A and B are shown apart, each in its own frame.
Chain A
Amino acid sequence: MRIYATYNIKGGVGKTTAAVNLAHLSAADGYRTLLWDLDPQGAASFLFRIKPRVKGGGKALIRGTKALDDAIKGTDFENLDLLPADFTYRNMDLLLGDANKKPTRKLAQLLRPLAAEYDHVFLDCPPSISLVSENVMHAADVLLVPLIPTTLSVRTLDQLTEFVGDFTGRRPQIRAFFSMVDRRKRLHQDITAKLSAERSGVAATPIPALSLIERMSVERAPVTAFAPRSQAARAFRALWAELNSDDEKPAGTAAAGS
């Protein structure tokens, strides 16, 4: 089981969009795929038309009184299941903090029993630096970091790389990709070209800013499903092809950075 997590400290950078489309592409490739919507706003759940509700809430999942397995819902797509968001996830930091042993590794422990059932798990994380995000970093094999092509975003990536680099033992691979790229903006073009060439952990495929991607919230489906031949879908497919070809690389190395 390979665990991908879309993560960025900032909101509105395309984490959920990436998680939803990449999970859909993974499932379409025949991988048994699970997407866990960890964001209490429940955007990924909404996009799959699944109610953002888990019986017993986040507390039941974190304390183990409800197995993750029992909360999983089938999406409309073959091989793709979703663990819905719940508004109580907003308190997940506190719940994780209650764990007696290794509070930063609780999510990894909860996901372990799903290894026989799924080939790929995608974690769609809320924007923050918190115990939840630290748990996600410990659970994930690959951190997928959407970057808006600005100088500040690049700085954020450096900070994240440094943070993960300080982990003892297992470390996730960091794979950044440019998101919401506006080709008309010179700054976007420059930063995208420069970083993709200079930094080994930055994907060559950018995800453009397209109104069709915004339309996902109207269609309530991945763009790769409702407009599979669109430029947006092609971009996600190219990105997925890049990421999936990384599978042979050993996990646990901080690949981004210089």
Chain B
Amino acid sequence: MTPELRGFELDGEIGDNAGPAGAHDPVAAVLDVLGQAFGVATEPGAPGSGARQRTWLDTFDWRLNRAGLVLEYEHARRGGRLLLSTDEVPLAEQPVSGWRSSRPRLAEDLPAGPVRDQIVKLASPRALLPMATAAGTVSVTRLLNADGKTVARLIVDQSVVTRGDHAVRLPARLAIAEVRGYPGQARRAARLLADAPGVSPAPQSTFLEALHALGRHPNDYSGGVIADITAQMPASVAVATLLLGLLDTLEQNVDGTLRDIDTEFLHDLRVAVRRTRSAIKLLGDVLPGGLAASYAAEFKWLGDLTTPTRDLDVHLLGYDAMAGQLVAASPADLEPFRVFLTRRRAREVRRLAAGLRSARFRAITDHWRKALVEVRDAGRPARRRGVTAADLAVATTERMFRRVAAQGSAISAASAPDALHDLRKRCKELRYVLEFFAPLHDPVTYRKVIGDLKQLQDCLGAFQDSQVQQEEIHALADAMLAERAAPAATLLAMGEIAAVLALSQAGARADFAERFTRFAGPAGQQRFRALLDRFAQ
């Protein structure tokens, strides 16, 4: 599609009873202009005309949008179709039946087709959620040459977005559709349209306009740390701001976790809890009146509440890959293990939901928010006068780096797994501290430091996760035996999985030295120094 064909907006409302000859109908004015160069004829029943309802879909964390993709479900009387586009240029479409746009659906559960092929890796394991729905009418007018041949079409789309109890009318959208073999005529029509009264180029796509009408914008959720802090901000205000951001993330994920829409709601909720706990531990001293200490236990309870479900999620998310690695056993042998995991997960989800609906949970979040808002709004505290966000960032980050460097250097081939586990926890804390103060750092140096740290964390994570999963497989095998749910073939297959995990753990251990040296060796230390020296300038 050529740029000038992308779309225009029309000022003024198209009256409900406005026919093509309506005196004040802005569309009639547009047709008058086009009529100078073309014959015009309405085309009732043209493909794509008539009532139209569409719902735009994306994952909760906007994975498609961040990849430059827009996914739209067009409702139809029987079934509907999914349309994937980028920058308003169609990429793929696929019919789907039985889709209820109000109900989230996992990308991997879509029927096979070109749209699924293009989005499944990107979106999984997240569900596709309705981000906005627009309903309206589309009318088509044929633009004819001197022979009465259709050489282009004017498409007019008038849509309404429903927000709560009231409907928000979107600006009428106009576009010229090209007829194959007549590109010049379509360009000519687009030029005329651009100069028609009340017509202006559409500043953004219909999707963005629909979101705007709903008071939303793309990427209005991110699982990352978003804190609007500055270097000279009092440390207490910066920490309260940062913790409020984490509380927002935590609360945004509660509903999706309770409805069990996809596993990543719980994952993001847990990360927000972990980050909160680390912030309380490492930065909580700057908050007044022992506030941090009094909530540390509450967030530990919340973290522990979420662990069993997440552990089972990890097993189930990796199940197909695990089953695919079996050599001696067949995937069918492992099936009772999957059934057991699923059953156990359902039980744990009920426990988790009860916890998240409890008065204790509500009290934590409500009181914590109130206390943090008070700190944030109080501004500079009397105590610790002069301690800024920058001071706190330098002191804490430096301390954490030294700790990681010292613990990592002490690890040898003979060290116990616990030593690596402990180092992993320190690395996580360092990562969180770096992310908390990210807005204060030089972005280039920051990215390099984070990149190396991430490599080290991945290695330690692979080591520890393999360890934990092996232990869990043993525990789950015991539980299955106790419930008489473990055929011998399944136990043997689980043993094979445990062996694969042990191999993966050994591989991670072998990688450790190199990754640690890259992060905390002389070059890594120099990079770290450069990161913190910026504050001294």
> Which positions in A face B, CB cutoff 8 Å?
48-51, 71-74, 76, 78, 81, 220
Contacts and interface: CB of A to CB of B under 8 A. Distances in A.
A74 B182 contact: yes
A81 B180 contact: yes
A71 B180 CA distance: 10
A72 B181 contact: yes
B148 interface: yes
Contacts of A78: 46-47
B47 A74 contact: no
Interface residues of B, number: 11
B150 interface: yes
B142 A72 contact: no
Given A48-B149, A51-B147, A220-B148, A76 B142 contact: yes
B122 interface: no
A49 B149 contact: yes
20 contacts: A49-B147, A49-B148, A50-B147, A50-B149, A72-B180, A72-B181, A73-B179, A73-B181, A73-B182, A74-B179, A74-B180, A74-B181, A74-B182, A76-B142, A76-B150, A78-B46, A78-B47, A81-B180, A81-B181, A220-B147
A76 B180 contact: no
Nearest to A74: B180
Contacts of B182: 73-74
Contacts of B148: 49, 220
Contacts of B149: 48-50, 76
Nearest to A46: B147
Given A48-B149, A73-B182, A78-B46, 4 more contacts: A50-B149, A73-B180, A74-B179, A76-B150
Contacts of A72: 180-181
Nearest to B146: A49
Interface string B107-144: 00000000000000000000000000000000000100
Nearest to A76: B150
Contacts of A71: 181
B427 to A, nearest CB: 52
Contacts of A74: 150, 179-182
Contacts of A81: 180-181
Contacts of B147: 49-51, 220
Contacts of B46: 78
A50 B149 CA distance: 7
A50 B145 CA distance: 10
Interface in B129-184: 142, 147-150, 179-182
B185 to A, nearest CB: 11
A51 B182 CA distance: 12
B14 to A, nearest CB: 25
Contacts of A76: 142, 149-150
Which 6 residue pairs of A and B lie closest in terms of their CB atoms, listed nearest first? A73-B181, A74-B180, A49-B149, A74-B179, A76-B150, A49-B147
A229 to B, nearest CB: 15
A241 B154 CA distance: 34
Nearest to B150: A76
A78 B180 CA distance: 11
B444 to A, nearest CB: 47
Nearest to A77: B150
B131 to A, nearest CB: 30
Nearest to B48: A78
A101 to B, nearest CB: 31
B308 to A, nearest CB: 52
A51 B150 CA distance: 12
Interface in B17-76: 46-47
A179 to B, nearest CB: 27
A51 to B, nearest CB: 7
A15 B66 CA distance: 55
Indicate the member of B47, B149, B150, B182 with the most A CB atoms within 10 Å: B149
Contacts of A73: 179-182
Contacts of A48: 149
Interface string B509-524: 0000000000000000
A219 B46 CA distance: 19
Indicate the member of B47, B147, B148, B181 with the most A CB atoms within 10 Å: B181
